[in-house]
Amino acid sequence: MAVRITNIQHFSLDDGPRIRTTVFLKGCNLACPWCCNPENISFEIENYVHDNQEESFGYDISLDDLEKEILKDEVFYTENNGGVTFSGGEPLLQIRELKPLLKSLRSKNINICFETSLSVPSDLLEIAIEYIDEIFIDMKILDKEEAKNVLNLDVDSYYKNLEIINSSEIDKNRITFRIPLNNEYTLKDDNVKNILKCIEKYSDFNVEIFKTHNLAESKYESLNQDFTNFSAVDDNELNEIFEKIKELNSDVKIISL
Ligand code: SF4
């Protein structure tokens, strides 16, 4: 059994509690205009030539080889209580292939984290649920029509999946909403209202907010894709949304990604 990935990042500090080994699964069914990992969106292995240099994004790796790579960092899991994070792309889209690896990691008591948009059929989420120790859930655009048009996100499935997570055994302290902030989409008034409503409903979950950035421009160039330049969110806007969320949930943090 194999999975398709773009990268394995050792010693990662932004992808879950303590020191993580992050596996970036290739393939995503959304198209966020601010995506900073565009090389993870296509399910295909991509090869390009730039200035006579070949660049390749994505490769298939057997579960055995992936586990060997993950276990190189075992010392961080045992001595530091770190773990493994599956990110992407959308990692839940390869959950059937990943399952034997998750079973093996669980048998070794290795902490497992997922970073997900929750834009997946619920049966895929149900497969993952029993292996999730920590989960980061994107919250982006929540108006049905705009979410479909801009992101390709089905908001009804998103809410359905949130309910599945909420009623699961996952410790609520280990569930975190991650909200990317930009003036063009997520900080629009109506979207902020929807975001606040959702945060209020799931007030036991943690919340992290961050400004989207334009640092991935060269990746888009490498992939021969158009890049959208986003205006910068200023600190006043950041603090304003932070305070609004804080009124509903004191476990809100500002992070940079
Ligand atoms: S869900 Fe994540 S990986 Fe997929 S397009 Fe959006 S930002 Fe990129």
- Taking the CA atoms of 103, 126, 89 and 192 in sequence, report the sign of the dihedral they define: negative
Secondary structure (3-state) at 194 = helix
- Inter-residue contact 181 to 228 (CB < 8 Å): no
Helices (H), 72-208: 74-79, 95-107, 122-129, 144-146, 155-166, 189-201
Structure tokens at 2: 């194999």
pLDDT of residue 124: 98
Residue 42 in contact with ligand 1 by CB distance below 6 A: no
Distance separating alpha carbons of residues 142 and 151, to the nearest angstrom: 10
Residue spans of the domains in the chain: they are 2-254
CATH of domain 2-254: 3.20.20.70
pLDDT of residue 233: 95
Using CA positions, which residue lies closest to atom 8 of ligand 1? 35
Using CA positions, which residue lies closest to atom 2 of ligand 1? 89
Rounded distance from Cα 78 to ligand 1 centre (Å): 31
Residue 88 in contact with ligand 1 by CB distance below 6 A: yes
Using CA positions, which residue lies closest to atom 3 of ligand 1? 89
Residue 28 in contact with ligand 1 by CB distance below 6 A: yes
pLDDT in tens, the chain (257 residues): 999 999 999 999 988 999 999 999 999 999 999 999 999 999 999 988 777 788 899 999 999 999 999 999 999 998 888 999 999 999 999 999 999 999 999 999 999 999 999 999 999 999 999 999 999 999 999 999 999 999 999 999 999 999 999 999 999 999 999 999 999 999 999 999 999 999 999 999 999 999 999 888 988 988 889 999 999 899 999 999 999 999 999 999 999 98
Residue 89 in contact with ligand 1 by CB distance below 6 A: yes
Rounded distance from Cα 41 to ligand 1 centre (Å): 7
Structure tokens at 226: 């158009």
Rounded distance from Cα 89 to ligand 1 centre (Å): 6
Rounded distance from Cα 225 to ligand 1 centre (Å): 15
**Residue 123 neighbours by CB distance under 10 Å:** 9
Distance separating alpha carbons of residues 13 and 10, to the nearest angstrom: 9
Q: What pTM does this model have?
A: 0.96
Distance separating alpha carbons of residues 234 and 62, to the nearest angstrom: 44
pLDDT of residue 54: 85
Cα–Cα nearest to 89, from 46, 152, 40 = 40
Using CA positions, which residue lies closest to atom 7 of ligand 1? 35
pLDDT of residue 81: 87
Cα–Cα nearest to 130, from 103, 158, 161 = 103
Residue 147 in contact with ligand 1 by CB distance below 6 A: no
